[in-house]
Copies of this chain bind each other. A is one copy, B any other.
């Protein structure tokens, strides 16, 4: 790689970062991508890791393995501590730095617990591989304990509370009841597994509040029928080690409260001397560049209000992928001396799986606004997730696990192991 080529630094190897890299595949630039893990994670399937259906390695892939065929990119395993705009360099936690001519800031998101006391300390999270792995181990450990000391069940040992009725909460709840109904009774013949309960709590009056109302109804009906206790219009007030207190007086004793209620931008957004808005998200121009810095772009979950109209998009993979690719293309246009464009999000729709044989999906109005629920939604979900899952080996492994589970109701991923937190797992909660 010639030294005279422009240098592009990309912070974060998530959906946005990886899609930017791919868009620069044949470009005459030298890319450096920085991430604190050597793998990228397919976050939409983490709930299946937490519920013993997939193994951690099946939803993650080595960044280097993914980039092998692309010659103009280098990977750096490090945490980012800030940016020196003066030297145009990304500062790393090992004391070194990566200099750049162009930057794509795609550091992603962290948890937003809205200042509710006790969440950061006591809740389980579901955003990183280690969190999903450790949540799985925690859940299985509760059943091991209950089988030795059934009297602890009265103290809420087998009560599982999910805070947040968006897609993540709905999918997690559906997968969890299925684990309890179908898989664990065979593992614990001496334990009355039917005493385990899943609570799904949502502050708004319906699940999947961004979806069409008919899909919310479908999800609510399916989950209720399968035994999930729904608590709608119920807002968390405080969380202690073994009780969740809600506004209005509801209290749930539980050793397992899972946070699926909100994200904000990564801590890093606040450390780069660029304006941020709600939930710490970066304010950007219509072309996704940072105000006053035409050479620096943001993409993905870290992006907040866009342009003078202050457009805000949801923090989902689809947006991140499109923004990563878009930001990469703007850099190419600047290199050619051309003007940059205005980012337009092409919404394809939404989908969530509610459980076995049942999903909900809606195409965007642009694509006809069609809505499915039930088995067709389930199939649509399977297909899309299989296509987007990174790596042939992972795709094959997931398909195999799904098929085995579908036919035998068995889930193979039942090892209790604890991973040390990734760098930043704790930071993400603060």
CB neighbours (8 Å) of A144 from chain B are 38, 77
A346 CB within 8 Å of chain B: no
Q: Which residues of B contact A71 (CB under 8 A)?
A: 189
Q: A57 contacts the other chain (Cβ, under 8 Å)? A: yes
Asked if A96 is an interface residue, CB under 8 A from chain B, the answer is: yes
A187 cross-chain contacts in B, Cβ below 8 A: 62, 64-65, 68
Copies of this chain held together in the complex:
2
B412 and A38 form a contact (CB under 8 A) = no
CB of A339 closer than 8 Å to a CB of B: no
Q: Which of A378-430 contact B (CB under 8 A)?
A: 391, 393, 396-397, 400-401, 404, 410, 412-420
A38 to B148, Cβ gap below 8 A? no
A261 to chain B, nearest CB (A): 27
A85, CB-defined interface residue at 8 Å: no
Q: Which residues of B contact A404 (CB under 8 A)?
A: 393
* CB 8 Å contact bits of A315-359 with B (1 = contact, 0 = none): 000000000000000000000000000000000000000000000
B417 touches A130 (CB 8 A): yes
Report chain B residues within 8 Å CB of A415.
Answer: 37-39, 56-57, 60, 62, 129
Rounded to whole angstroms, the CA-CA distance of A55 and B417 in the bound complex is 13
Majority SS at the chain A contact face: mixed
A89 at the B interface (CB under 8 A): no
Supposing A68-B186, A74-B190 touch, asked if A419 and B417 sit within 8 A by C-beta, the answer is yes
- A393→B58 CA distance, assembly (Å): 14
Q: Residue A94 at the B interface, CB < 8 A?
A: yes
Bound: A56/B417 CA distance, A: 10
Chain B residue contacts of A272, Cβ below 8 A: none
A344 to chain B, nearest CB (A): 36
A419, B418: Cβ atoms closer than 8 Å: yes
Q: Among the listed B68, B416, B420, which residue makes an inter-chain contact with A418, where contact means beta carbons less than 8 Å apart?
A: B420
The distance in angstroms between the C-alpha atoms of A269 and B298, with both chains bound, is 60
In the bound complex, residues from chain B placing their C-beta under 8 Å from that of A417 are 56, 129-130, 419-420
* A188 contacts chain B at the CB level, 8 A cutoff: yes
Question: In the complex, which residue of chain B has the Cβ closest to the Cβ of A189?
Answer: B71
Q: Within residues 55 to 112 of chain A, which ones have a CB less than 8 A from any CB in chain B?
A: 55-57, 60, 62, 64-65, 68, 71, 74, 76-78, 94, 96
Known: A76-B148, A148-B76, A148-B94. A414 touches B188 (CB 8 A): no
Residue of B nearest to A190 (CB): B74
* Separation of A65 and B393 alpha carbons in the complex (Å): 24
Whole-angstrom CA separation of A412 from B390 in the bound complex: 12
B412→A65 contact, CB < 8 A:
yes
Q: Is A376 an interface residue (CB 8 A)?
A: no
For residue A140, CB closer than 8 A to chain B, the reply is yes
In angstroms, Cα B401 to Cα A349, docked, is: 36
User: Which residue in B68, B96, B412, B420 is a CB contact (below 8 Å) of A148?
Assistant: B96
Residues of chain B contacted by A141 (CB below 8 angstroms): 77
A129–B56 Cα distance when bound, in Å, is 15
- Name which of A76, A148, A400 has the most chain B CB atoms within 10 A of its CB: A148
Residues of B contacting A396 in the complex (Cβ-Cβ under 8 angstroms)? 400
Would you list 15 pairs from A and B whose C-beta atoms are within 8 A, ordered by A residue?
A37-B415, A57-B415, A62-B415, A65-B410, A68-B186, A74-B190, A76-B148, A94-B148, A96-B148, A129-B415, A391-B412, A393-B400, A396-B400, A417-B419, A420-B420
Q: Please report A residues at the B interface, Cβ cutoff 8 Å.
A: 37-39, 55-57, 60, 62, 64-65, 68, 71, 74, 76-78, 94, 96, 129-130, 140-141, 144, 148, 186-190, 391, 393, 396-397, 400-401, 404, 410, 412-420
Known: A68-B186, A71-B189, A76-B148. 4 other contacts (CB 8 A): A57-B57, A60-B415, A64-B414, A78-B148
